[in-house]
Chain A
Amino acid sequence: GAVVSQHPSWVICKSGTSVKIECRSLDFQATTMFWYRQFPKQSLMLMATSNEGSKATYEQGVEKDKFLINHASLTLSTLTVTSAHPEDSSFYICSAPQGSNEKLFFGSGTQLSVL
């Protein structure tokens, strides 16, 4: 199946700093990518839809100035958590659709810990 690479796998940062997470579609082009957040023992929550060459679409309650999304090419979307705080600590996962019936393929996730 298609491969979506997400980097880094985990990151620890100090409160107030910004963290960038990359999501790459390795063997296909993705005009759209999705970013999810998952807290321990909870389900995935869609944060935003990343659109190549245009602004991202954010779900209700997700601060666009807090979670900056850039989709500058057909194979790369980035999520930047700005001025991170401990409550932003979570598992962040990206995904991209590919193929007939356009199944979603997911990255391996990034565990963010803000101290």
Chain B
Amino acid sequence: DAKTTQPTSMDCAEGRAANLPCNHSTISGNEYVYWYRQIHSQGPQYIIHGLKNNETNEMASLIITEDRKSSTLILPHATLRDTAVYYCIVNPPSGTYKYIFGTGTRLKVLA
């Protein structure tokens, strides 16, 4: 079973920030939080990952709570091209890459 739970779907207005939550209350000390997204009929695309500190890159920001039981992916200025299914995954950083995908959040960016 997936170690994460996410809302099934979300809508966001174009140009606004999209905040996608993820619950991972059983995360282990050495497990990272990874975020991927999948645009229709394509392979998943890596977005960002983190252990306990907040992270930011050119695509998004990742906010991890202090107890690491949940996190939020932030797309600061959502565009129509950000419409996709977003997956939050927890996994050790090396040795075992059995990414177990949950149902993800279907984000729809509205014009």
Contacts and interface: CB of A to CB of B under 8 A. Distances in A.
Interface of A: 1, 4, 6, 32, 34, 36, 43-46, 49, 91, 93, 95, 97, 101-109, 111
B45 interface: yes
Contact of B46 (A1, A6, A32, A91): A1
Interface of B: 2, 32, 34, 36, 38, 41-46, 49, 87, 93-94, 97-104
Given A43-B104, A103-B34, A103-B49, A34 B99 contact: yes
Interface of A is mostly: strand
Contact of A103 (B42, B46, B87): B46
Contacts of B46: 1, 103-105
B100 A111 contact: no
Nearest to A93: B43
Contacts of A109: 41-43
